[in-house]
């Protein structure tokens, strides 16, 4: 734990640390190739609290040669977060003490089989009162891991969790589009009503009913 705390102090307080990563989101239906001709070379920077913590965790995972294990653990956390309103409340609550957040989340992670470096990471994040950014940290780490493998990361926001079959179909479709292996960073947002929000590099495609209704509303208001 001392090693983790020391590394995070050095990395998270360095004033000019920047990590280039590929962030993205995708559609399950076929996409026009023209929309994504250059996304494979676009590498937006993951900045802010989430980016700095993710970069520090990634560096430690590389040092300990367990990037794959940490990536799997973070995926477990993201899945739990997407499916549990109680966990969302715990993570986002500004009134629960950091010690209490760390203890409660630790119990959840133990049951999910998440331990080692990842568990220590979440413990530190909670005690530092940064747990609200944990989902973004998880996605940023996965983007860094994907980039290190020469993959493109697609950030997917859907109304419901994607099934394994849907995720595989989406990755195959995006690979055909960008010409590289694609890693999905998924997030659930029930307010989308239906459809998906897809981001690849700086390109975003939103097929959700929520957006279509909002656009229709603006059009109607403009007609008066």
Question: In this predicted model, what pLDDT tens digit does every residue of 105-154 receive, in sequence order?
Answer: 999 999 999 989 999 999 999 999 999 999 999 988 988 898 888 888 88
Reading the block at residue 187, the tokens are: 């997030």
- Non-local CB neighbours of 128 within 8 Å, separated by 6+ positions: 98
Length of the chain: 224
Please state, in angstroms and rounded to a whole number, the distance separating the CA atoms of residues 62 and 53: 14
Burial class (CB in 10 A: 0-12, 13-18, 19+), 159: middle
β-pairing verdict for 19-20 and 45-46: antiparallel
Say if residues 90 and 109 touch (Cβ distance below 8 Å): no
Please state, in angstroms and rounded to a whole number, the distance separating the CA atoms of residues 162 and 36: 22
What are the pLDDT digits (tens) for 55-66?
999 999 999 999
Burial per residue of 61-72, b for 16 or more beta-carbon CB atoms within 10 angstroms, e otherwise:
beeeebbebbbe
**pTM of the entire predicted model:** 0.62
Instruction: Please tell me the class of the 2-222 domain.
Output: mainly alpha
Residue with tokens 């040092």: 63
What are the pLDDT digits (tens) for 150-192?
888 888 888 888 888 888 888 888 888 888 888 888 888 888 8
Domain ranges of the chain: 2-222
CB atoms within 10 A of CB 126: 25
What are the pLDDT digits (tens) for 26-57?
222 322 222 222 333 334 435 688 889 999 99
């Amino acid at each position: 734990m001392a090693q983790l705390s020391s590394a995070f102090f050095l990395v998270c307080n360095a004033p000019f640390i920047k990590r280039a990563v590929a962030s993205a989101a995708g559609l399950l239906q076929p996409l026009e190739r023209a929309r994504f001709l250059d996304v494979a070379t676009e590498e937006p920077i993951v900045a802010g609290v989430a980016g700095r913590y993710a970069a520090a965790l990634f560096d430690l995972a590389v040092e300990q040669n367990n990037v794959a294990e940490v990536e799997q653990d973070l995926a477990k956390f993201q899945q739990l977060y997407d499916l549990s309103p109680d966990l969302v409340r715990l993570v986002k609550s500004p009134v629960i003490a950091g010690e209490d957040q760390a203890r409660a989340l630790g119990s959840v992670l133990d049951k999910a089989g998440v331990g080692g470096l990842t568990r220590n990471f979440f413990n530190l994040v909670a005690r530092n009162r940064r747990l609200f950014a944990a989902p973004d940290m998880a996605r940023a780490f996965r983007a860094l891991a994907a980039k290190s493998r020469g993959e493109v990361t697609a950030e997917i926001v859907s109304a419901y969790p994607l099934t394994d079959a849907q995720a595989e179909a989406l990755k195959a479709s995006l690979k055909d589009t960008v010409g590289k292996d694609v890693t999905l960073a998924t997030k659930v947002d029930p307010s989308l009503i239906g459809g998906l929000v897809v981001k690849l590099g700086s390109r975003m495609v939103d097929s959700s009913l929520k957006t279509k209704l909002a656009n229709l509303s603006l059009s109607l208001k403009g007609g008066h």
